[in-house]
Amino acid sequence: MSTLVIQIPPRPRLRARSSDAVDPESRAGTEYSYAVSPDGVMLTSQGRCAASLLPRTATVVAVLCDEDVSWHRIPLPKAPAARLPAALVGVLEEALLEDADAVHLAVEAEAVAGLPTWIAATDRAWLVAELAALEKSQVFVDRVVPMSWPDEPARGHFSTHDNEFPVSAPSAAGAVLSWAHPDGVAVLPLHSGLTRAVLPSPRPDDAHWTATPSAVEAAEAWLGFPVTVMTWPQRALQATRSLWNLRQFGLARKNRGSRAVRDLWRQFLRPEWRVVRIGLAALLVVQIAGLNLWAAYQRSTLEARKAAMVSLLQTAHPQVRAVLDAPVQMQRETDTLRAAAGKPGENDLESMLQLAASAWPADRPPVDNLRFEPGKLTLAAAGWSPEQIAQFGNLLRPRGWQVDAADGRLVVTRQTNPLAGRTP
């Protein structure tokens, strides 16, 4: 999964107006240091450019400088997720250097309520403005991670005021030490008595020491032994592999609408989904081919049945030359032959009287008057009880006829749906 790592510029500590920090327009000309990794481990490219020129990848991770994040360790309050931010503010209110409303808090991953937990704090308005400036250039940050976090074993990193990774901590010699240890994170000027006082003596044997290329000489002279060279892209990529994500609570990313569709599409286009895409394309081709073959088979079957009906009609009635509707013409020719032979049809008076007589209640006198139309027989039924009418209709319904009772009359007609009322 390709990843774009962006360095958020250090937060300016001096402002003429606090409102400037929350104005995305003021970030329009800002250039960002970035690095690109295809798998979160290897680096393929790096550079510095405006937000609108940043490479497009599947995932975007923003990294905050060590000076822009403070750390607090407290027992995690037992509160619902919706009320957890307020509960955290209540616990940390005295420890925060700014108003609670101006601070954004984030909880470490897999934290358990009631147990000591690390809480990251940063300036809310500044971080919101930085994310808004990137989103204005269509760069949507999935995660925000700190460059360093409290961890064990301890890690010390030396850097300078160079073009690769500018730091904001003042130092006469230009070099600073970022010291991340189990009790927190500190950013200290290298050549300062406070730095040696903060670091434990003797120094931990398992501590990891790294430095940017421009700070290697100063770091080795200060420590008295060699250190590992680590450039900004390497360190930032290492930070992305942590479990931290400062986009929590009010800053949690919300995937809705077109952005959610775009994100899903981008994920689907990742290299690891290539086999799935090929499989889906092959399945689609097979489905389309199968549907076409099935449609062709159905058409040929329908044409064969139509041809069979035409052949049957012309065999039974050779006088029919032009066939327009074989079933209708077959019925008409059959009715003509039946009438010529003097045999009644289903809708004739004689057949319908026999039908009614077969279902006539034994305790009812013969019908005194009736009215006939082809396929419709109206019988007088004055004095019939509801039970007799229901019985009469139930006897005729399985034969495909329906009985309607109204105004002392029974109307017998052919059912519109011949299957209605039949039991399986």
Can you name the CATH fold of 3-273?
A: Nucleotidyltransferase; domain 5 (3.30.420)
Digit-coded pLDDT (tens) for 297-315: 999 999 999 889 888 888 8
* Cα dist from 267 to 53, 261, 262, whole Å: 21, 10, 9
94-115 pLDDT tens trace: 777 667 778 899 999 888 888 9
Give the C-alpha separation, 5 to 45, whole Å.
11
- What's at 190, amino acid-wise? L
Can you tell me whether residue 72 is helix, strand or coil?
strand
Residue-level pLDDT at 172: 39
What is the rounded average pLDDT of the residues 392-400?
A: 87
Please check the confidence at residue 166 and state whether its pLDDT lies above 50: no
Q: What is the pLDDT of residue 71?
A: 92
Which sequence spans correspond to the domains of the chain?
Answer: 3-273, 276-340, 349-414
Cα 68 from chain centroid? Answer: 33
C-alpha span between 223 and 156 (Å, rounded): 11
Length of the chain: 424
Q: What value does the mean pLDDT take over residues 254-269?
A: 68
Q: What is the mean pLDDT of the chain?
A: 83
Q: What CA dihedral angle connects 11, 16, 18 and 23, to 10 degrees?
A: -70
Helix, strand counts (H, E) of the chain = 10, 17
Same fold? 3-273, 349-414: no
Hey, which CATH number is domain 349-414, 3.30.930.10, 1.10.3720.10, 3.30.1360.100, 3.30.300.30? Answer: 3.30.1360.100
Question: For residue 25, what are the contacts with CB-CB under 8 A and spacing of at least 6?
Answer: none
Highest mean pLDDT of the ranges 164-178, 267-281, 293-307, 388-402: 293-307
Report yes or no: 44 and 37 within 8 Å, Cβ to Cβ: yes
pLDDT at site 312: 87
Tokens of residue 91, six digits: 């616990």
Q: Report pLDDT for 280.
A: 92
Sign of CA dihedral 275, 277, 282, 284: positive
What are the angstrom distances between the C-alpha of 6 and each of 28, 34, 93, 198?
A: 16, 5, 31, 30
Model confidence band, residue 41 (pLDDT cutoffs 50, 70, 90): confident
- Paired tokens of 59: 């995932």
